[in-house]
């Protein structure tokens, strides 16, 4: 993955986006960018997660820390993703405000209210001009 782009700019679909969001939780993007290509090579689609097990998923994620927690979140999020209506991303297990804001920006082409993440704010400013977050 390219270092000059956000993870969200380098995934192929919404499910991969949500996996990236879970991996980015409490982890630097450089570490995440190192493991995601291997992860998506093994699991390019959500359905393929269920052809594996959580221990295998955790092993791929081990360099990020909290490997079992992340594997559990990805598994549960994927279960919900396959039934999700595509509206509110916070309805997916393990996806909070950052993931929801990111989904709105990259997949719905909307800028949500009160974006707090500095990388998302930087992206909004680069792509859409001046942006002032609410405090």
* Residue 59 pLDDT > 70: yes
- What number is the average pLDDT over the span 106-135? 85
Predicted confidence at residue 10, as pLDDT, reads: 80
Are 24 and 36 within 8 A, CB to CB?
Answer: no
Model pTM score = 0.90
- Which residues are known catalytic residues? 117
Burial class for 3, CB neighbours closer than 10 Å (0-12, 13-18, 19+)? exposed
**What is the residue extent of each domain of the chain?**
7-128
Q: Which ranges of the chain does DSSP label H, i.e. alpha helix? A: 14-24, 29-42, 46-49, 54-61, 67-81, 97-107, 118-128
* Residue 100 pLDDT > 80: yes
Predicted confidence at residue 135, as pLDDT, reads: 52
- What number is the average pLDDT over the span 99-114? 94
- What number is the average pLDDT over the span 97-118? 94
Answer yes or no: CATH 3.65.10.10 is held by domain 7-128. Answer: no
């Amino acid at each position: 993955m390219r270092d000059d782009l956000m993870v969200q700019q380098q995934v192929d679909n919404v499910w991969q986006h949500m996996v990236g969001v879970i991996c980015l939780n409490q982890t630097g993007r450089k570490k995440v960018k190192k493991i995601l290509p291997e992860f998506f090579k093994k699991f390019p689609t959500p359905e393929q997660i269920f052809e594996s097990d959580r221990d295998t998923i955790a092993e791929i994620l081990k360099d990020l820390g909290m490997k079992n927690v992340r594997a559990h979140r990805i598994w549960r999020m994927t279960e919900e993703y396959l039934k999700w209506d595509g509206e509110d991303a916070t309805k997916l297990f393990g996806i909070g405000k950052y993931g929801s804001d990111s989904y709105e920006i990259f997949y719905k082409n909307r800028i949500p209210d009160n974006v707090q993440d500095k990388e998302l704010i930087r992206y909004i400013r680069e792509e859409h001009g001046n942006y002032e977050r609410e405090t």
